[in-house]
Amino acid sequence: MRRLSALDLFSNNSIKSRRTLSVCATKHQLHNIKTHIEMGAEQYRPPLFSVAPMMEWTDKHYRTVARIISKHAWLYTEMLAAETIVYQQGNLDRFLAFPSEQHPIVLQIGGNNLDNIAKATQLANAYGFDEINLNCGCPSAKVAGHGCFGARLMLDPKFVSEAMSVIAANTDVPVSVKCRIGVDDHDSYNELCDFIYKVSSLSPTKHFIIHSRKAMLNGISPADNRRIPPLKYEYYYALLRDFPDLRFTINGGIDCVDEVNAALREGAHGVMVGRAAYNNLWNTLAHVDSAVYGEPSSGLTRRQVLEQYQVYGDAVLGTYGNNRPNMRELIRVH
């Protein structure tokens, strides 16, 4: 494996002007997280900061770099369709295996078939994920259109409650839902409340990750779905008021640790960061442990992170057969 330069691993976003970090999350904020069990495995710090599941981005290679930089950020897999897990039983390591250092880690699955969701959950148990999340927010035509899951599931809260009950019945770890604030014209706050109420009352789900935009399933791209629908953070904060027994993580439009801590000070139970945690990896994650969790940072330089990642790359290069993973897959991490 060729030796990579720091510029290969950390994009030129890192030389952009940095915003001054806000003060660390206070002890009072940490105390407001009632238990670790409700929002994650008990032995880890609560998910005040998590990296969003992103297709073709948050693979195990990206997560390896992310974990070298931050020891406390919660990491999510890419969304895996339940059918993929079920039909790839002979090749599950490729999809589900991860180094133990990647804990705490959440498996996100997608699907609309209860039998396959149950089987996928059972198969995933052996890998030791810390939480299982159901995707009810992806707006892509492949998922929400032809696949009839993702964001489209918000239109069927009864099915989502059944799916969450099936997942919970087949695992011992916490379960959660990631969703939008609405879909197409079904975007009122009352309709969002109806979805949250039905899913939480008809299933064991107590944790919801709320992407604070609605999904538009009328043909616009996933990228436009992250840009065109307006952010409505007021919906998120209203959920905190109206469902005090549930836990909510805010997602959408939050791009730096300053903004993470601002949301926590406003009362957010947790904050999920998406593209910024990939496109601006170093500047985003290097400050999470100290600025969000009040813990010492790793103290690693970028070169040291790069050297540790090279050890990982050398170990996994070609291990799936057919030259997978290959060099291109390993160095696309920003």
Tens of pLDDT, residues 212-257: 999 988 777 888 888 889 999 999 999 999 999 999 999 999 999 9
Is 90 labelled a binding residue?
no
Is 279 labelled a binding residue?
no
Burial label, 78 (beta-carbon count in 10 A; 0-12, 13-18, 19+): middle
pLDDT at 89 over 60: yes
pLDDT at 287 over 70: yes
pLDDT at 185 over 50: yes
Higher per-residue pLDDT: 8 or 179: 179
The pLDDT, as a whole number, for residue 203 is 98
The pLDDT, as a whole number, for residue 272 is 98
For tokens 């950390």, the residue is 10
The pLDDT, as a whole number, for residue 143 is 58
Question: Quick one: average pLDDT of 150-179?
Answer: 97
Which pTM was predicted?
A: 0.85
Strands 74-76 and 80-81: unpaired
Is 252 labelled a binding residue?
yes
CA distance 299 to 279: 21
pLDDT tens, residue by residue, 300-322: 999 999 999 999 999 988 887 77
Higher per-residue pLDDT: 256 or 12: 256
Is 137 labelled a binding residue?
no
Angle of CA points 144, 232, 58, to nearest 5°: 50
Is 206 labelled a binding residue?
no
Is 274 labelled a binding residue?
yes
pLDDT at 1 over 70: no
Residues forming the active site: 138
Mean pLDDT estimate for the chain = 86
- Extract the tokens encoding 274: 């998406």
SS3 letters across 321-332: ECCECCHHHHHC
Question: Quick one: average pLDDT of 277-298?
Answer: 94
Cα–Cα nearest to 95, from 79, 110, 75: 79
The pLDDT, as a whole number, for residue 333 is 64
The pLDDT, as a whole number, for residue 13 is 37
The alpha-helical segments, DSSP class H, found in 16-113 are 27-32, 36-39, 60-69, 82-87, 92-96
Is 54 labelled a binding residue?
yes
Cα-Cα-Cα-Cα torsion 229, 230, 236, 238, nearest 10 degrees, comes to -120
Is 108 labelled a binding residue?
yes
The pLDDT, as a whole number, for residue 8 is 38
pLDDT tens, residue by residue, 320-330: 777 778 788 88
